[in-house]
A and B are shown apart, each in its own frame.
Chain A
Amino acid sequence: MVFVLFGVSLIVFYLARGFPRQGFDPVAPYINPKMTSEQIAEVRRIHGFDQPLYIQYVFWLQDVLRGDWGRTGIWAQGRSVLGVFSLSFPYTVQLSVAATILTVTIGLPLGIISAVKNNKLPDHVSRIIALTGYSTPSYWFGFMLQLVFFYYFSVWGLPNLPNNLAVSPGIGTVPRVTGMPVLDGLLAGNLLYAWDAFCHLILPAFTLAFISLGFLARIVRASMLEVMRQDYITLARSKGLRERVVIYRHALKNALIPAVTLTGLFFAGLLGGALITEFVFALPGVGQLSLQAVFQGDSNFILLYTLVLAAIIVVANLVVDVAYVFLDPRIKY
């Protein structure tokens, strides 16, 4: 696990620092326009940006292990990367959690219906929904939702959903506790704020969930079909149990094991996929900032972002393996 993170950091470091082009200079966040070229050279020397890359990497690793991730040019010149990141990361987590909940609540029933009515009309419908889900360009789907639920609903005089930002500008503020607007509103007792933040969350969360719910439905269907072929299901049927009981009490419990564990991986994937959704809905999340960082060549921010996401993916994989042992008594290590 540490090895994987080390490899990821090495590759991103060499990519982001190794090819200095116009605007990709690592010294950029540390200087201001008033500095003379001698002062800039001095700053460059102090931070070690004039050294060979492998020495720069060792410097960077030392700083990171001490908890100093360097500075960034995003939002304002010379802000701490960790500060900018921790201000915007909770919003991305909120979006991904909402999308994960949607994925499970829609994808799971779709998969079950699909397996129970195998090769009949409901199976074909759910297969088409699932395939459409992961064939849809997510940015396009986001804009289509905006177009219908924000613009046309307002044109037709219906109550419409907001199309961008985390909360309405005029709604006021609540004390920042978790950084997730919905939770903060609830914690502060400001229900209006929480409701407003929730309304702003619906369209992005659905955009994000639309891709992964298809995957989940297909996986649930496959594992459900696998379980339905087992002998103990035949036994349950021959005992004279009703089909409902056979499916929900006997088959579903075992079929859900892969689905439950995969939800962790979906969450990790959605965190990375939130980049495009945040761009489309102009949300103040970390994906939007990382896009900005890529265009500005802000190597420190890119490093922190990729490492945090890689760490979450690695941890999610680990949790999945461990969860298998708890959920499935047949597996022992």
Chain B
Amino acid sequence: MPLPAVQDRSGGKRIVRHLIVCRIFRILGIIGVLGIVTLGSPVWATHDVRLSEDVSRTKHNLSSNPDIMATGTTEVCIFCHTPHGANLAASTQAPLWNRLLPDDTSYEVYESPNFDAQDFTGIHRPKGVSLACLSCHDGSIAFDALVNLPGSGGFVPTNLGFGRGPGTSTNSINFFGGGIVDGSKTFTEGLRDATEVEKTSESPFSGGLHDLVHGGGGSEGSQPFPNLGLDLRDDHPIGMEIPCLTDAQFLQICQDLTTVKLDGGTDGASVAYISRTSPRQALVWPMEKRDRLRAYPSTDQPGRYYIECASCHNPHTPRVSFLRLPSGVPGLVDKNLSPSDTAGNPAGKMWGQIPNAGSAICLSCHAK
């Protein structure tokens, strides 16, 4: 039964006050920035707001997201990562993961008569980094089901490994946002009721903290996607091997997936980057690798590559819908958009503001 978002009175006041303060901050912030730029400043003072990654200013900053409003800590990283004692259940594809991970057998997965994705397990279960995402976004595990709480002496071994249900919720963190955190401290089930203010505010920062940047009320709605649920049949498949051998539309991205695009690392299991254009050119291929669409290596089958949540999404980016940038598609690069976040263009728009313009993200993989 979908539950409507409820805003209690104190929460309402908080939002209003927040809104006003943010507007003031916004105006004075602009003055401040101008002051810095004028008077001399650190190197990055003139950097565009849309850095590739700036998690403090995204909705993933649970301490600042007005819809979640974690209290008990000011730390940002802690809700996902820990420097010591991490959960290794999903291997290191969930880097230094500080949360209970969901049981991968919990899900109903995507199917279609047209679907050719291979999977050596035969079961298209979420894997690796996708399980990290789902540890919040399937709505089953509490936001504060952490392994290592902020500070010392707060190790919660019951949140190691895989599990179902909310996990061990920890009393040291509470959430005072309205609407999307339920009694078990998980995502509220059902659709999210974005307010009119949110719906009508035009902001290029849908992934970013709408309030802090634009002074709106509440962060922008993105129903129903914060809570994907355990039924993933209505979502693009994840944990799927790219069907290089069985579906011709992927021949282009498969051409040199395992040779040219390997990146870094000494562990022999590195992320690969996706582009349909070969040879790739700077104009159609983000130079900043954090902006690139990516395929994840199989931890079990060397040389096999998988599409996971983080193939398209970057949880640390303040860009729209937490999207990476398109890798460029012939014929799509002249849409008044620059593929580079730092390069301007006559229309004043950049890929960084509209990553999926022309469905370029979709078409970065699919030859459709």
Q: Do A and B bind each other?
A: no
B-to-A contact residues, CB < 8 Å? none
Which A positions have Cβ atoms within 8 angstroms of B?
A: none
